Structure 1
Amino acid sequence: MRHLPTHTDERNFHCAACGKSFRQLSTLSQHRAIHSAERPYACEHQYTLMRHLPTHTDERNFHCAACGKSFRQLSTLSQHRAIHSAERPYACEV
């Protein structure tokens, strides 16, 4: 019974604070947290949030020592570094 509404556009669960509607009560319950000061997931997701935040700014704290190009995330810089080496881990098969 909980699954059936996912196949229709019925949204019977409404948020009293903003009027947004949902198919499932559980989704409405999760949504309600945005209207309160309660942040139940802050600690568990802190690392992910901190990694995500720079995508909303022009802040580029990771610099390539070889060419000076800068990146928002360390993982992107790590991928970039491969262009300065002879290493070619992704060979074209065509």
Structure 2
Amino acid sequence: SYLAQHLRIHLGVKPYHCSYCEKSFRQLSHLQQHTRIHTGDRPYKCPHPGCEKAFTQLSNLQSHQRQHNKDKPYKCPNCYRAYTDSASLQIHLSAHAIKHAKAYCCSMCGRAYTSVSW
């Protein structure tokens, strides 16, 4: 049941054990997903003509398919850029943060600025 599954989080119970290594999991689906690392099973095949890629997780296939479709749903709120996955957007956003960081401080009052020059 969902409640029993949820209680395992609080109890720390991991009843599903990997037969290849020492890892254990709270949910059978997590064990099945992990086992693919050892077996090399990639059940999620890209349906795009000419593409031979296959993935261990459905979410990875979905992200890959956006590249074929040129679908870029992850938009930067600071500029025109858009990305196919959230990880790429996060990397881009960190560049904005670094660019606009106030790294230069006035030794008299402590006020911070983005550059030394006027």
TM-score w.r.t. structure 1 length? 0.46
TM-score w.r.t. structure 2 length? 0.39
Of structures 1 and 2, the one scoring higher in RCO (CA 8 A, sep 6+) is: 1
